[in-house]
Chains A and B, each alone.
Chain A
């Protein structure tokens, strides 16, 4: 090795480069400060919708919105906000697009540590309640919210006495089956009509599968939420009279037994529920899209994707939820935009939500993301989705299913620890499908898991 002292002296290039590196390093840190104090959204993924430069006055407020998307939700939100920013030049909303995992697992930790964004699109609507900002005092017209979002506002609330308005539903979902209609046509089997029971559907899809040599009649997403719709139709209540979880009752037990039997007799493919462990989510879309199953129990959110991917390969249609003794219920779900208490700009954040909740803005959002609105007036008027006719029909079928949802499904959706219930259901029934646990033991474990978790959550 040559002596470094001389080589540096000989190569001014080296010295210059060294200074350059130091300068860049300093420049970087300066840049960081700049972005922190003087907001710019040019680096957000949705920067395509660029906004006019803000007023240089010091009162500018920057709001950070953490957003996850199943499709184009975040981009559309960002584009709609351009209109808002034009009206309020001193408010900037930066949409940070994150994986759903960040919302589900990291956001609660960040919030508990007193960190996190100003606003976020979340799905644990009730579970995060203690971090929410009550928007009511900041809203222009709370009555508008009450009137249009009435039923879903409860999902965000802490309890029965809570009258706060905490969030804006950006997506309402309903679970239900979609069916490969072409397979039915090919088999020459008539599709069971509204009001048909689960057994009717199992019999019909079996016939179709046999006639068309499709490997499986049915499949269901690996999700405790999907299962809850079926169980509630069977009469499951999920809660006792005091509102405490009492998940395993006769209705739940009957459905669980039926469900395991379906996997044993080849009605459903084992790999979706049995092939994974824990509470992991898997859907049956791949199988359905390849016409390997006749009927998939999923939900309204898959319509847009089906429309795009299945294309002309076969006809598919959403059908009403099959019935059990208690009713023909799916279960609602959804995601909402909320503001967190720790934000420095509560007024501005409320303005943003007020804007996004406006009928015309909200309707445009729903059309462009192909989601079902939770907004009463929009639902009444109907929306003109930019989808194929078949997809539109199916979306309407799902919207119609909202009325058939039984009360326990709403209670469950509004329960702050509902994901603990779903998780236990999936992980234990999954073990049972894989042949590790008998149904009875699985049910015992579900009860134990949920009780233990809820007890832990209530320990002070």
Chain B
């Protein structure tokens, strides 16, 4: 015991664990009495509100209140910051957003970039989410196998998650520029330079690639947690029955992984619709407006301009929120029926 505490890392560790224990102890015992009292007063189920309170207070102040202000912005105009100073203009912002001669041709719209952004976002989300979930699943399955250097490989796949989106985009931008690393490699092998960021399709591809590259590790981790929670004996039973690996995967792994898959799907979907930083630095929404997504449109209108049009931006953000809400609820419902059925 004594020599263990001789070296300073151990001493530091002991201090930290000691502090943690003390805190855990206090956290357990201090609320005990008030909680018991509350339980008596509120009853067995309504006590839940007590657990919700801290979160709800902060949530109302810093998330819900701003969203309400944002709602109000959507029906006001001008460039003033304080809601009370902004003139009320009713649905004018929404009318502006939806003023189109032909909804299938964004160039006929008053806010052509808004519709272009919606179209781009839809395309991006439908491709990116599928690829994201697919590659996360493959990676999680691979990392779940008995492989040499598992810890190392896990770190490797997770590492990009540690990078900030801006850094991710900067690194890839340098790789993809006309005079970037990738073109240097291609040229050294005798190929022709490709203008990755000038061709709309390539740019779109790279935007998807880079976002998957950067975020995949996170979803892999969630799926890995699910895979590890599946008990070994289920597989052993399947092996006894000589089930094919594919059948095992479909009948055992996938259903048991479903709760984690739902989380991954929902988060990936929401995150994809909200994609901003990476793309903003990587392509800036270009070429032209080929990779301008909704959040960037909102950012450009409400924030990055000298004349900051909070009203129009807020109206667009409401449209975004409604679309996302419908998508998420539909997806949650679908997955729930799948589990039940």
Which positions in A face B, CB cutoff 8 Å?
4-5, 7-8, 11, 13-18, 20-21, 105, 108-109, 112-113, 124, 127, 269-271, 274-280, 282, 286-287, 290, 292, 417-420, 423, 430-431, 433-437, 441, 445, 453-454, 456-457, 459-460
Q: Within the assembled complex, what's the spacing in Å between the Cα atoms of A453 and B313?
A: 13
Residues of B contacting A: mostly: loop
Query: Complex Cα distance A16/B304, Å?
Result: 50
Question: 8 Å CB contacts to A: which residues of B255-296?
Answer: 283-292, 296
Interface contact A456-B296, CB-CB below 8 Å: no
Interface contact A271-B195, CB-CB below 8 Å: yes
What are 9 A-to-B residue pairs whose CB atoms are below 8 Å? A13-B18, A14-B19, A20-B19, A271-B178, A271-B198, A277-B288, A420-B306, A453-B305, A459-B78
For B198-212 the 0/1 string (1 means CB < 8 A from A) is 101000000000000
CB distance from A70 to the nearest CB of B (A): 18
Q: Tell me which residues from 291 to 326 in chain B have a Cβ below 8 Å from any Cβ of chain A.
A: 291-292, 296, 300, 303-309, 311-312
* Residue of A108, A278, A286, A454 with most chain B CB atoms under a 10 A cut-off: A278
- Whether the Cβ atoms of A420 and B21 lie closer than 8 Å is no
Asked if residues A17 and B198 are in contact (CB atoms below 8 Å), the reply is no
Among listed B35-43, B79-87, B140-148, interface-contacting one: B79-87
A278 and B25 form a contact (CB under 8 A): no
Pick from B22, B77, B81, B197: contact of A8, CB below 8 A. Answer: B22
Residues of the B chain whose Cβ atoms lie less than 8 Å from the Cβ of A5:
25, 29
Q: Within 8 Å CB of B130, what residues of A? A: none
Given the known interface contacts A278-B285, A435-B288, the answer about A108 and B107 at a Cβ–Cβ threshold of 8 Å is: no
Assembly CA distance A457 to B23 (angstroms): 53
Which partner residue on chain A sits nearest B15 by CB separation? A17
Q: How far is the CA of A437 from the CA of B287 in the complex (A)?
A: 12
Residues in B with CB closer than 8 Å to A274 are 198, 286-288
Q: Is B179 an interface residue (CB 8 A)?
A: yes
Q: Does B155 contact A (CB under 8 A)?
A: no
In the assembled complex, the CB of A429 is this many whole angstroms from the nearest CB of chain B, namely 10
- B81, A109: Cβ atoms under 8 Å? yes
Contact in complex: B306, A277 (CB < 8 Å): no
Question: Max chain B CB contacts within 10 Å: which of A14, A112, A290?
Answer: A14
> Chain B: interface residue count, which band?
35 or more
A277–B307 contact, CB under 8 A? Answer: no
Q: Is B63 an interface residue (CB 8 A)?
A: no
The answer to the question of B16 belonging to the interface, with a C-beta cut-off of 8 Å to chain A, is yes
Contact partner of A434 among B87, B178, B290, B300, CB < 8 A?
B290
Is B7 engaged at the interface, CB distance under 8 Å to the other chain?
A: no
Q: Which residues in A have their C-beta under 8 angstroms from that of B22?
A: 4, 8, 14-15, 17-18
Chain A residue at smallest Cβ distance from B178: A271
Are A14 and B18 in contact (CB-based, < 8 A)?
yes
**Residue of B at shortest CB range from A15?**
B22
B28 and A4: CB pair below 8 A? yes
Task: Select from chain B the residue with minimum beta-carbon distance to A108.
Answer: B308
Task: Name which of A7, A279, A287, A431 has the most chain B CB atoms within 10 A of its CB.
Answer: A431
Verify if B17 is at the interface (C-beta below 8 Å from A). yes
A20 and B14 alpha carbons, distance in the complex (Å): 14
A290–B285 Cα gap in the complex (Å)?
26
Tell me whether B289 and A18 are in contact (CB under 8 A): no
Contact A11 B21 (CB under 8 A): yes
Q: A278 and B81 in contact (CB under 8 A), knowing A11-B21, A441-B107? A: no
Taking the nearest CB of chain A, how far is it from the CB of B311, in angstroms? Answer: 8
| Whole-angstrom CA separation of A4 from B284 in the bound complex | 54
For B87, list chain A residues within 8 Å (CB). Answer: 459-460
Given A13-B14, A17-B15, A456-B309 contact (CB < 8 Å): yes
Given A14-B17, A278-B284, A436-B288, are A453 and B307 neighbors across the interface (CB < 8 Å)?
yes
B53 within 8 A of A: no
A109 to B285, CA, bound (A): 24
- Chain A residues with CB under 8 Å of B300's CB are 278-279
What distance in Å separates the Cβ of A267 from its nearest Cβ neighbour in chain B? 16
Whole-angstrom distance between the alpha carbons of A17 and B120 in the complex? 54
CB distance from B123 to the nearest CB of A (A): 16
Contact between A445 and B283 (Cβ–Cβ < 8 Å)?
no
With an 8 A cutoff between CB atoms, is B24 at the interface? yes
B283 touches A286 (CB 8 A): no
A417 and B80 CA atoms in complex are apart in Å by 15
